[in-house]
Amino acid sequence: MSDKNNRSVINSGGGGVFNEISNHFKLVFRLMRDPRVNTFLKMIPIATLFYLIIPDLIIGPIDDAAIIGFGLFIFVELCPSDVVEEHRAALSGTIPGEWRDPQQIDDEDIVDAEFTEKEE
């Protein structure tokens, strides 16, 4: 089968930017708890949070948000991709399945049957 037919159905819950940020923090939290992720990689989010308690290099919250965002991004990028995709699918509510275009269904894929209701 081609990659075009091997898709997943994703529940689009909406929420926009805040939902994406929330899901990214949840993803980082799940990856931190996953034993398949290297222990040294788990030091990256800890180091970015440690950055909050040391004196600021630049005055203001912008540099804090940038460093934390960059650290969490790097952490997710360096984690094993199959583990990341597994957790992302769990967070987004992905329903595993195969995409089929209704216009291209073969006759052998159609089952002709009748529905009867069974009384108890």
pLDDT for 71-89, tens place per residue? 889 999 988 888 888 888 8
Residue 2: pLDDT band with limits 50, 70, 90? very low
pLDDT at 48: 83
pLDDT over 50 at 9, yes or no: no
pLDDT over 60 at 1, yes or no: no
Is 40 inside any structural domain? yes
Is 11 inside any structural domain? no
Report, in this order, helix, strand and coil percent for the chain, each rounded to 5.
50, 0, 45
- The H or E element containing residue 46 is helix 43-50
Domain range spanning residue 83? 24-92
Is 120 inside any structural domain? no
Please tell me which residue, 23 or 104, carries the higher pLDDT value: 23
Number of domains making up the chain: 1
Please tell me which residue, 40 or 101, carries the higher pLDDT value: 40
CB distance 58 to 82 below 8 Å: no
Please tell me which residue, 73 or 9, carries the higher pLDDT value: 73
The string of pLDDT tens digits covering residues 27-53 is 889 999 999 989 899 998 888 888 777
Is 99 inside any structural domain? no
